[in-house]
Amino acid sequence: MSVVAIISTKGGAGKSTVAVHLAVAAALKKRRPLLIDFDKRQLSVLLWAKGLRKKARTPAFLKGNIETLAADIAVASRRHDLIIIDVAAGGGDNVRDIASIAEHVLVPVRASAFDMSATRNTFDLLRKSADSTEPVGIAHMNALGKAAIVLNCAPKRQSAKWRAELEDALQDCGGDEAPIIGTLSDRCAYSTAIENGQGVTEEQDDPDAVAEILDLYDGVVALEAKRAEKIRTMRRRK
C-alpha cells in the first residue's frame, strides 16, 4: 500500500488532472485506488467522481480531513492498495503535514519558464517538511527526498535544446534533486476525458495521451518498487 500526494503550491499546475488520471490508470491495472480530495475550495475530484462519473465503482473517493487523515489511511489500507491525495494550491501546515505523511510526493510542473520559477515555493515547502513515513530507518531528510516531478503541458515534440533549458530551470528553482517520472503533453484529451467523467485510459480517444498516463503510472510503480527494495535491504542488514 502506498500513499501518493500530488502537491504544487502553484494553482493550475495539473494536480487534479494527474490525480484523477493516475487513479483511473491504477484501477485499469487491477490496483484498488482511493482518491482523497483535499481541495476544499473546489473539490475537483469529488465533482468528477460524484457529479460526472456517477455509476463507476472505481476509483473510490473520500473528502480529505487533516485531523483524521492518519486514521483514514489506516482504515483505507484494509481495502485499498494505492491512496492518491489531491492537494489544494497554496502552502500551509496542512500541505506540509500531507507531504510528511505520504510515501511519495508528485509535483506537477508546467513546462514554461514562468511556471518553473513559481515552482520554487513548492520545492521550498517540501524541503521544510519532515518525512514521517515508517520505517524510520529509510526516511528521507525531508519531503523533497521523496518527491518526483511530472512535467505537464510539455510540447509534443521536445528538442534537445528545450530539454537542456528545462533542466537548467529546474536547477534554478531547486527541483533538480527530484527525478522526472512522467511527461504529459498539452492535450485537450485530458480535460475532455474529465468532463466526461472518465480518464484518458478509459476513453481511449487519444492513444498518445493513454501512453503518457500509462508511462506515468509505471513511473509511480518504479518509485514504489525502489522504496520496497530499500526496506528489504534495511531489514536484511538488521
Closer residue to ligand ATP, CB minimum distance, 69 or 107: 107
Strands 33-38 and 60-63, sheet pairing? parallel
17 contacts: CB under 8 Å, gap ≥ 6: 108, 152, 184, 190, 191, 194
Range 35-54, binding ligand ATP (CB under 6 A): 39, 42, 44
Degrees, nearest 5: CA angle 72-22-86: 45
Binding mask 124-153 for ligand ATP (x = CB under 6 A): ----------------------------xx
Among 14, 59, 175, 197, binds ligand ATP (CB under 6 A): 14
CB 147 within 8 A of CB 98: no
Alpha carbons 217 and 53: distance in angstroms, whole number: 21
Binding mask 133-172 for Mg ion (x = CB under 5 A): ----------------------------------------
Cα-trace Rg, the chain: 17
89 contacts: CB under 8 Å, gap ≥ 6: 8, 9, 10, 11, 12, 13, 15, 39
Alpha carbons 2 and 231: distance in angstroms, whole number: 13
Q: Element (H or E) spanning 93, and its range?
A: helix 93-101
CB 2 within 8 A of CB 103: yes
The DSSP code for 88 is P
Q: Please state the closest distance from residue 29 (CB atom) to ligand ATP, in A.
A: 21
Question: Considering CB distances under 5 to 8 angstroms, the limit depending on partner class, which of Mg ion, ligand ATP, none binds residue 80?
Answer: none
Question: Considering CB distances under 5 to 8 angstroms, the limit depending on partner class, which of Mg ion, ligand ATP, none binds residue 186?
Answer: ligand ATP
Range 150-169, binding ligand ATP (CB under 6 A): 152-153
Binding mask 176-215 for ligand ATP (x = CB under 6 A): --------x-xx--xx------------------------
Closer residue to Mg ion, CB minimum distance, 44 or 198: 44
* Position 44 contacts Mg ion (CB under 5 A): yes
Binding mask 3-22 for Mg ion (x = CB under 5 A): ------------xx------
Among 13, 24, 35, 98, binds ligand ATP (CB under 6 A): 13
Alpha carbons 62 and 69: distance in angstroms, whole number: 11
Binding site for ligand ATP (CB under 6 A): 8, 11-17, 39, 42, 44, 89, 152-153, 184, 186-187, 190-191
Residues that bind Mg ion (CB under 5 A): 15-16, 44
